[in-house]
Amino acid sequence: MSRRRGGRTGYLLLLPAVAWLVLFFVVPLYSLVATSLYDPTGSDFRGYEMDWAFGNYLDAVRDYARPLLRSLVYGAVATVLCLVLGYVLAYAIAFKAGRWKYLMLVLVVAPFFTSFLVRTLSWKLILADDGIVVRTLQAVHVLGPDGRLLATSVAVVAGLTYNFLPFMVLPLFASLDKIDHRLVEAASDLYASPVIGFWRVTWPLSLPGVVSGTLLTFIPAAGDYINADLLGSPGQRMVGGVIQSLFTDANDYPAAASLSVVLMALIVVMVLVYVRRAGTEDLL
Amino acid sequence: MSQAVERPTTTGPTRSDEAADGYDGLRLRSVTRTFGAFTAVDDLDLDVPRGSFFALLGPSGCGKTTTLRMVAGLETPTSGTITLAGQDITHAKPYRRPVNTVFQNYALFPHLDVFENVAFGLRRRRRPDVRRRVEEMLELVELGPQARKRPHQLSGGQQQRVALARALINEPEVLLLDEPLGALDLKLRRSMQVEIKRIQTEVGLTFIHVTHDQEEAMTMADTVAVMDAGLVRQLGAPAELYENPRSTFVANFLGQSNLVEGTVTRRGPDTLTVDMHGTAVTVPTARAHTDGARGWVGVRPEKVLIGEAGSALDAPGGTVPGGIVTDVSFVGVSTQYLVRMPWGQELQVFAQNTGRQQMFGRGDAVELSWRPEYAFLLDHAQDAGAGAQRGDEG
Amino acid sequence: MRGGVRGAGPVAWVRRHLVLLLGVLVLVYTFVPIAVVVAMSFNTPPSRNVYGFGSFTLDNWLHPCAAEGMCAAVGRSVQISLLATVLATLLGTLAAFALVRHDFAGRSGANLLVFVPMASPEIVMGSSLLALFVATGFGGRLGFWTIVVAHVMFCLSFVVVTVRARLAGMDDTLEQAAADLYATPAQTFRRVTLPLVAPGILGAALLSFSLSFDDFIVTNLNAGTTVTFPMYVYGVAQRSVPMQVNVLGTVMFAVSIVIVVGGELANRRRRAVV
């Protein structure tokens, strides 16, 4: 029984969307790479010359190694934190929520329909030097008497974690929800304690969600810079902010583009290594 | 309450009195359906008389559902023709055929209530009087109070009746039922079998029922076609198929059979004599379905009489001695024995627990006998295991 | 489970429900900034350059557009997002139908193409779009339309994925049943397919709107002199933040809660078993 229709209708239906994506996603990437190879001595005013200036990439890495590395590290740390928090939440919703399952899921997502800039501003308030969080931490000596959270990497990573939590929770939930509870019961029947049951049954079966979630979290998080801008100091500057200012402030297009390409290449490499290690899961 | 059968007016091709071949039922000729290298239906010929309850019976994958879908128009034959009341409908779209289907999973529209589900076909054909007709139909299937409920609020049995009502209300030339009772539990299934049969008798439409449950087919249908691997193996009334199977497949698929190797020693005008491992048994010529020198002697377990070794059994035509009981199952209505014969084969015997008979235990020495008019002879080239089902199917 | 009597008392209760409690805690954590936003909307800061609690006031709610440029930015954002949503939903729904219902060469390639933008860093997407616009001579004409183009681009993937999931989960025998019951293909689509896919399309549209409205990074690079709401907030965050920003934040939150919880309740009512 063939369910899929053949013929040309499929192409026609798909054409507008694919055309849009090709024109405004694929082609721009080509433009980006081209721009990154422009002669860096050109300018917006005088125009740029294509110079196959692969040296731009080396310059980008040399000049901005710290923000690059920082972005990857912050992104990774935030992803791990998201995984821990997100897994707990997704697990609670999938296995322990009963009738409230879909309501809780909806509540996870609801705050993220509010402008994230406004919410990040709130974090700025919550983590302020004279705010309750800092004062509490000082009282229990986690922070020194002059200690602060804002303008430190802690605040930035905390902001990143907060912002990208739904990107982790939703794929995790989708994966966990598919697990048949009876499998865990079967494990328990076969002498597994709850912890072992989780480790041997639930965790492996949730791995597709873990892989999706970590990718959907890490990739955008590494490229984000709003949290660093609002919650950090120049010492926490992430590479996204550098790219942004190279474009709009310095108008140095080849440098901005080459830094962008370097970032993209690094992310792609890390993702490929990760996916290969995790096994090829069907993320689509 | 009976419903008069009206000639439905359809949006399809108009009928003329000089029909192409004049047969007023459903006729399939040389219908074949292939999917790449796989042949689902192989050169099928079938005549379904108008107004009959017809069953297509066979194991999964035999092509019965594909055949049904070709009649409905949901599939197109690779070759062959399908005519209904003389009109060629082979390539007609499903919405232009006077044929309706009750689907296996009911396929009730979840976003419509029961009333609108049942009214769907009428509305598409712009029939007048929708409200009255739907209410009458809901009465017929006893779902009047549920008219405004959504499908997910109904039980499986109720959903099944909605599916039936939705198809039936359009008074199709042929109503197709695709294993509609599969999802119901046993008791409900039995009562629905009776129900559907009753409705068919009342409305007088042609029903074609596809199932793998041989008991269901035999209970409900006037005529049964047993299908295997895309072919019809045998067609006839249930009793005829059961009592006189023409192939090992049918013998095993309908009920159970004992099939014993034998060599034909004499062919007479009325009877054959077959040497069955040293015992001579008689088979009526009308029930011998092979011309070869060897064959499978078949007899149903309930026709086999079992008695203590050496006792005279009430069955002329030969006693088969030398059996040892290897298994006894008390099934309430009957006791089922497995008896190992001297040539190594285990035969099945179903003895009804009339209370007058002796019960045997394991290890007892027994002899078997049966009346020759119950035996049949099948082609030795066929697989003696064909059609046998594992466990409880259905 | 090892045998043994379960303890009574509060400690044992906590241990049994530990995971659920932790989950709820995480959930509460996600709402903390919202609470602050709501609180701040009723707040007058102690002094102009301090972003902190001062005194309670209803002023912000009474004069929501008192902040200069904010309402204009909000209006801009709404226009852009509405347009982008309509386009993305339309194109994405058509594409979802193609990917689920039709078979053609390059289907898996198309699936990949649709997925990749969802997993790309915004800075790279924004940079490359800017590079394209500059290279094709639109560098001086960045603004409303370039933003719309960008938004449709990244919303498409989300629409396709959402509608595709809904469509793939639909029982395809329903459409066969409709054809069996005399519905032409057009009637089948209108009476069976569309009503059943509609919730997915609606959800995709809502998702698309909120992604578009809330976008900063891609927008900022391709906006020229146009100011959207997120850009506005980013701008004032460097200087002094008017509290009306929190009023808008609260309104957005309230609207989304109403839509989302309302939808869930409607679902529950429909699914109620008698």
If residue B194 lies in a helix (H) or strand (E), which one and from where to where? helix B186-203
CB contact under 8 A, A6 and C216: no
**What pLDDT, in 10s, does the model give residues A179-201?**
888 888 888 888 888 888 888 88
* Residues A99-103: contacts with CB under 8 Å, at least 24 apart: A102/C264, A102/C267, A103/C261, A103/C264
**What pLDDT, in 10s, does the model give residues B274-312?**
998 988 899 999 999 998 899 999 999 999 988 888 776
Statement: residue B239 has pLDDT above 70:
yes
pLDDT range class, residue B392, cuts 50, 70, 90: very low
Domain boundary among B243, B277, B293: B243
Residue A97's pLDDT is 79
Which residue blocks in chain C are alpha helix, DSSP H? 10-16, 18-41, 59-62, 70-101, 107-115, 122-135, 144-168, 173-180, 185-188, 194-213, 217-221, 229-238, 244-271
Q: How far is C-alpha A158 from the geometric centre of its chain's CA atoms?
A: 13
Shortest distance between the Cα of A141 and any Cα of chain C, in A, equals 23
Statement: residue B56 has pLDDT above 70:
yes
Statement: residue B108 has pLDDT above 90:
yes
**Which among A13, A32, A216 has CB closest to C97?**
A13
CB contact under 8 A, A25 and C23: no
Per-domain boundaries in chain A: 64-278
Residue C65's pLDDT is 87
Residue A35's pLDDT is 87
Which segment of A128-137, A253-262, B87-96 scores lowest on mean pLDDT?
A: A128-137
User: Tokens standing for B64?
Assistant: 């019965």
Domain boundary among B217, B243, B269: B243
CB contact under 8 A, A114 and C217: no
Cα angle A71-A264-A170, degrees, rounded to a multiple of 5: 70
User: What DSSP character marks residue B65?
Assistant: H
Which segment of A132-146, B185-199, C187-201 scores lowest on mean pLDDT?
A: A132-146
Q: How many residues does chain C have?
A: 274
pLDDT range class, residue B315, cuts 50, 70, 90: low
Q: What is the mean pLDDT of chain A?
A: 85
Backbone phi and psi for residue C190, each to the nearest 5 degrees, phi listed first:
-70, -40
Domain boundary among B184, B216, B243: B243
| Cβ contacts of C174 on chain B, cutoff 8 Å | 107, 109-110
pTM for the model = 0.81
Cα angle B134-B204-B213, degrees, rounded to a multiple of 5: 95
Residue B11's pLDDT is 41
Report the C-alpha gap between B328 and B357 in whole angstroms. Answer: 15
Q: What is the mean pLDDT of chain B?
A: 88
CB contact under 8 A, C272 and B72: no
Q: Which domain holds residue B133?
A: 26-243
Question: pLDDT per position in chain C (274 positions), as tens?
Answer: 444 455 667 888 877 788 888 888 888 888 888 888 888 888 888 776 667 777 888 888 888 888 888 999 999 999 999 999 999 999 999 999 999 888 888 888 888 899 889 888 999 999 999 999 988 888 788 899 999 999 999 999 999 999 998 998 888 899 999 999 999 999 999 999 999 999 889 989 988 999 999 999 999 999 989 999 999 999 988 888 888 888 998 998 888 888 877 877 777 666 553 3
CA dihedral C187, C189, C192, C193 (to 10 degrees): 180
**Which among A112, A120, A260 has CB closest to C124?**
A260
User: Tokens standing for B349?
Assistant: 């015997």
CB A206 within 8 A of CB A213: no
For helices A55-63 and A253-278, angle between their N-to-C axes, nearest 10 degrees: 80
CB contact under 8 A, A114 and C241: no
Same domain assignment for residues B86 and B123? yes
Same domain assignment for residues B109 and B197? yes
Contacts of C37 (CB under 8 A, 6+ apart): A114, A118, A119, A122, C246, C249, C250, C253
Report the C-alpha gap between B259 and C164 in whole angstroms. Answer: 55
CB contact under 8 A, A28 and C128: yes
- For chain A positions 128-157, those within 8 Å of chain C (CB to CB) are 128, 130
Per-domain boundaries in chain C: 10-61, 68-241
| Residue at B16 is within a domain | no
CB contact under 8 A, B100 and C270: no
Residue B15's pLDDT is 42
Same domain assignment for residues B131 and B34? yes
Residue A44's pLDDT is 62
In the sheet that holds B38-48, the strands lie side by side as: B38-48, B26-35, B79-84, B87-88
Same domain assignment for residues B270 and B239? no
CB contact under 8 A, B170 and C180: no
| Cβ contacts of A253 on chain C, cutoff 8 Å | 131, 134
Statement: residue B390 has pLDDT above 70:
no
- For chain A positions 98-117, those within 8 Å of chain C (CB to CB) are 102-104, 106-117
Residue B262's pLDDT is 92
Residue A282's pLDDT is 47
If residue B232 lies in a helix (H) or strand (E), which one and from where to where? strand B231-236
User: Nearest residue on chain B to C173, judged by CA atoms?
Assistant: B107
If residue A95 lies in a helix (H) or strand (E), which one and from where to where? none
3 state SS of B256: coil
Contacts of B50 (CB under 8 A, 6+ apart): B24, B25, B85, B206
CATH architecture of the domain covering C68-241: Orthogonal Bundle (1.10)
Residue C195's pLDDT is 93
Shortest distance between the Cα of C96 and any Cα of chain A, in A, equals 8
Query: How many other CB atoms sit within 10 Å of the CB of residue A269?
Result: 10
Same domain assignment for residues B118 and B223? yes
Same domain assignment for residues B178 and B278? no
| Residue at B390 is within a domain | no
pLDDT range class, residue B314, cuts 50, 70, 90: low
Q: Are strands B319-330 and B305-308 parallel, antiparallel or unpaired?
A: unpaired
CB A235 within 8 A of CB A283: no
**Which among C30, C135, C153 has CB closest to A21?**
C153
Report the C-alpha gap between B349 and B324 in whole angstroms. Answer: 12
Burial class (CB in 10 A: 0-12, 13-18, 19+), B236: middle
CB contact under 8 A, C176 and B107: yes
**Which among B93, B111, B124 has CB closest to C195?**
B111
Query: Given a contact as 3+ CB pairs under 8 Å, which chains touch C?
Result: A, B
Chain pair A-C, CB pairs under 8 angstroms: 279
Residue C138's pLDDT is 84
CA dihedral B11, A1, B252, B182 (to 10 degrees): -70
**What pLDDT, in 10s, does the model give residues C77-125?**
999 999 999 999 999 999 999 998 888 888 888 888 998 898 889 999 9
B95 touches chain C (CB under 8 A): yes
Which segment of A13-17, A210-214, C47-51, C196-200 scores lowest on mean pLDDT?
A: C47-51
User: Tokens standing for B324?
Assistant: 């040892």
Shortest distance between the Cα of C178 and any Cα of chain B, in A, equals 8
Report the C-alpha gap between B368 and B376 in whole angstroms. Answer: 16
Report the C-alpha gap between B194 and B219 in whole angstroms. Answer: 8
Same domain assignment for residues B196 and B340? no
Q: Which has the higher per-residue pLDDT, A115 or B132?
A: B132
pLDDT range class, residue B91, cuts 50, 70, 90: very high
User: Tokens standing for A30?
Assistant: 């080509």
User: Tokens standing for A41?
Assistant: 């001595």
Residue B175's pLDDT is 95
User: Tokens standing for A189?
Assistant: 């029947």
Statement: residue B317 has pLDDT above 80:
no
Q: How far is C-alpha C35 from the geometric centre of its chain's CA atoms?
A: 20
CATH of the domain at B348: 2.40.50.140
Q: Are strands B258-267 and B53-57 parallel, antiparallel or unpaired?
A: unpaired
Same domain assignment for residues B218 and B364? no
Q: Are strands B223-228 and B271-276 parallel, antiparallel or unpaired?
A: unpaired
Query: What topology does CATH give the domain A64-278?
Result: MetI-like fold (1.10.3720)
Q: Which has the higher per-residue pLDDT, B373 or C1?
A: B373
CATH of the domain at B46: 3.40.50.300
Statement: residue A96 has pLDDT above 90:
no
User: Tokens standing for C187?
Assistant: 């009637």
Residue labelled with tokens 């996600």 = C30
Domain count, chain B: 2
Shortest distance between the Cα of C49 and any Cα of chain B, in A, equals 56
